[in-house]
A and B are shown apart, each in its own frame.
Chain A
Amino acid sequence: MSEPHSATISVLVRNAPGVLVRVAGLIRRRGVNIHSLSVGPTEDPSVSRMTIVVDTAPERTELFAKQLRKLVEVLRATAIDGTPSVDRELALIKVNVTPGTRMEIMEIASVFRANVVDLTDRTMTIEVTGRTEKVDAILTLLTRHGIREMARTGQVTLVRGPQNT
């Protein structure tokens, strides 16, 4: 088996009690770490989309999708591996500021097209959106100023072009 890597699986589910637990449980049972899992409504109010990023060997991703399709509430499960796709994630990062560092941090934010969404004399909260690597990159730069807390949504993904995810 090849090295584990991050694989994305997009799952459309019926909005029913317990669906999230069923999906998460199915993955957990196979001993795989869930890197991120995001859930939200879709264009159809009775359907939600989950985007799951797991650490797994590439050849196992489709097997996961197959197992997920067996769940009665799962309408569709797609292993995104390899397909051109748009991946985004949003992070809120609350970082320490002093009068001396404020400008530098704002510069970092602007390079990453991040927004400053809250400011006090000691903290600044930055909202950044992008691929996971971009979020990781801004985090690296901000770390030395002291990150007080952070919240990330986890990745959401759609396949590019007219094809459905």
Chain B
Amino acid sequence: MARQATVPSKQRPAPRAGTINGAQALVEALRREGVEIIFGVPGGASLPIYDALYDAASLRHVLVRHEQVAVHAAVGYARASGRVGVCTATSGPGATNLVTGIADAIMDSVPIVVVTAQVPRAVIGNDAFQEADVTGITMPITKFNSLVMSAAEIPHAVHQAFYLARTGRPGPVLVDIPRDVLQEACVPEFTDEVSIPGYRPVLDGAPNQIAAAVKALAEAERPVICAGGGVIGSNASPELTALVEATGIPVVLTLMGKGALDELHPRCLGMLGMHGSAYANWAVNDADVLLVVGARLDDRVTGRLKDFAPRARIIHVDVDPAEIGKNKSAHIPIVGDAKRVLAVMVAQARVPQIESWWRQITEWRERYPFRYHQNSNRISAQYACDLLNKVTGGRAVATTDVGQHQMWMAQWYRPREPRHFITSGGLGVMGFGFPAAMGAKFACPDKTVVAVVGDGGFQMTVQDLATAVEHGQSLPIIVLNNGALGMVKQWQSMFYGGRFSSSLLRNPDFARVAEAFGARGIRVERPEQVEGALRAALETEGVPCVVDVICDPDENVLPMIPSGQSVAEMILDE
């Protein structure tokens, strides 16, 4: 082999004036969209992108250790900031490693743009090395995807991807670019225009429908508002708060809607659904008018559909017409953006007569608050969540993984603001919590961000402690370690006769794992140590701090409405 294999990049043949290659056009297009950070892992097909990134001063690339982390981090970044998150992977295995995170983003309507490299055009379809049909694989889990077949099309494809990702009902958009297209010289034309004839989201609700909704709420005796993730996605919390304050109507939140209303607001009844508060579920059960905003009424919220809100006239506001009437038919459907529709409702709002309704709700609230038992030996995971809420005042951006700890955080952590509770709602993907917190921390470096994870889920993405350490992230990671795939074990104990098949974990010492990565590690075994450890982790600067909290292995999440059942079958912690 000739020696000139190491020609420095400056000595490469200069491109023709005005021409750059596809990868450079891509980087410039991303810069024009205001992208400041990309999460990814390089590979053969995406090398041209990385070569272009080498010169891109304004674009920071965060090298993660697994592509799943790249996409969860992009989601965490997007959900914490409201901006579009971006991640990238190489062809084949790099791209397929993103699939789980893309599915999470579509389920939770998170705006992200995913850039994947593809094998060269000439070999597409030939089972080339590291070829996977990525547009085919991701078709049902993206809002849109495209395979870009010439460098000149890259600017438009990228601009369209960002536009689609953040407008209407947000979601993931994937752009797949063959390696030779990334290398192809082009004279790119950057444009701010988009014209997509088949895509015209309706943002303003029909005035007559809104008027009907306002009237129904004003005349209601037992109204309830159910706010979902769409309220947060459309930045409609100020309008929701204004409507609540103008009318005094109680609000229940879905898991995705947590923080849409300050959870210490006296009108806020917290989360409803399978593990929601008894009083939130009873309120919905007795409601005569239910205003659903930005929520898709999935089965974890409704239980058995015919018994969900059986007495209520339902007003359903959603930017996605296909969500209205999908699970539960709406008496007053309103297609529109939550922020705009709620703003109009606020302007017209009238105060309903609901004093006796509030007396009833207050009575339920006092009768069945969330509760846990913290005895002197074992640490209740709920106690740890409750403490974290108290110590942070609900002002930290909290992310969770999936399982029991997720539900306890949903019950005990009371975010005071939107975008302060980030969890995998629709997909429920383990391994999400820690990478999402990394992404959120990159988005909001000045905020306290804390990840609360299970011992099972943490091990699905724990390798990226290396990334968080490398970037000096001050990131507390609280492991609620119950030595089990707790939620699975709970279902086995309740519905499978206590036969704990493959749900018990033999774990490493997480504090020492953290130290091996260069992070700080604290192990907590006694209840009285929990608060100090949480504070120490929150105060740790410049490195992640893993707090391994050894919890009671036998605690169950209650209340619980078993899958497919109704409030009447709710299991309470008596």
Interface hub of A13, A66, A74 (most chain B Cβ within 10 A): A66
Asked if A63 meets B326 with Cβ closer than 8 Å, knowing A17-B147, A21-B139, A70-B320, the reply is yes
Asked if A72 meets B140 with Cβ closer than 8 Å, knowing A14-B198, A63-B326, A66-B322, the reply is no
Is A71 a contact of B322 with CB atoms below 8 Å?
no
- Min CB–CB distance A128 → chain B (angstroms): 35
Which B residues from 305 to 335 make CB contacts under 8 A with A? Answer: 320-322, 325-326
B393: A residues at CB distance < 8 A: none
B136 at the A interface (CB under 8 A): yes
What does the 1/0 interface line of A1-44 toward B look like (CB < 8 Å)?
00000000000011001100110011001000000000000000
Measured between alpha carbons, how far is A63 from B329 in the docked complex, in Å? Answer: 11
- Min CB–CB distance A78 → chain B (angstroms): 14
Measured between alpha carbons, how far is A18 from B326 in the docked complex, in Å? Answer: 26
A87: B residues at CB distance < 8 A: none
Is A29 a contact of B140 with CB atoms below 8 Å?
yes
What does the 1/0 interface line of B320-358 toward A look like (CB < 8 Å)?
111001100000000000000000000000000000000
Is A66 a contact of B321 with CB atoms below 8 Å?
yes
* Interchain CB contact (< 8 A) of A70 among B136, B196, B197, B322: B322
A67 at the B interface (CB under 8 A): yes
Which B residues from 138 to 189 make CB contacts under 8 A with A? Answer: 139-140, 143-144, 147, 164
Is B164 a contact of A25 with CB atoms below 8 Å?
no
B135 at the A interface (CB under 8 A): yes
A69 at the B interface (CB under 8 A): yes
A21: B residues at CB distance < 8 A: 136, 139
Is B197 a contact of A14 with CB atoms below 8 Å?
yes
* Interchain CB contact (< 8 A) of B164 among A18, A26, A69, A72: A72
A142 at the B interface (CB under 8 A): no
Is A26 a contact of B140 with CB atoms below 8 Å?
yes
* Interchain CB contact (< 8 A) of B139 among A14, A25, A69: A25
A29: B residues at CB distance < 8 A: 140
Measured between alpha carbons, how far is A22 from B140 in the docked complex, in Å? Answer: 8
Measured between alpha carbons, how far is A2 from B212 in the docked complex, in Å? Answer: 30
Is A72 a contact of B196 with CB atoms below 8 Å?
yes
- For this complex, 17 residue pairs linking A to B, each with C-beta atoms less than 8 Å apart, are A13-B198, A14-B198, A18-B135, A18-B139, A21-B139, A25-B139, A26-B140, A63-B325, A66-B322, A69-B321, A69-B322, A70-B322, A71-B198, A72-B196, A72-B198, A73-B198, A74-B198
B residues neighboring A (CB under 8 Å): 135-136, 139-140, 143-144, 147, 164, 196-199, 320-322, 325-326
7 other contacts beyond A21-B136, A29-B140, A69-B321, with CB at 8 A cut-off? A17-B147, A18-B135, A21-B139, A22-B139, A26-B140, A72-B164, A75-B197
A residues neighboring B (CB under 8 Å): 13-14, 17-18, 21-22, 25-26, 29, 63, 66-67, 69-75
Q: Give the 9 A-B CB pairs with smallest separation, nearest first.
A: A66-B322, A75-B198, A72-B144, A67-B322, A72-B199, A74-B198, A66-B321, A73-B198, A70-B322
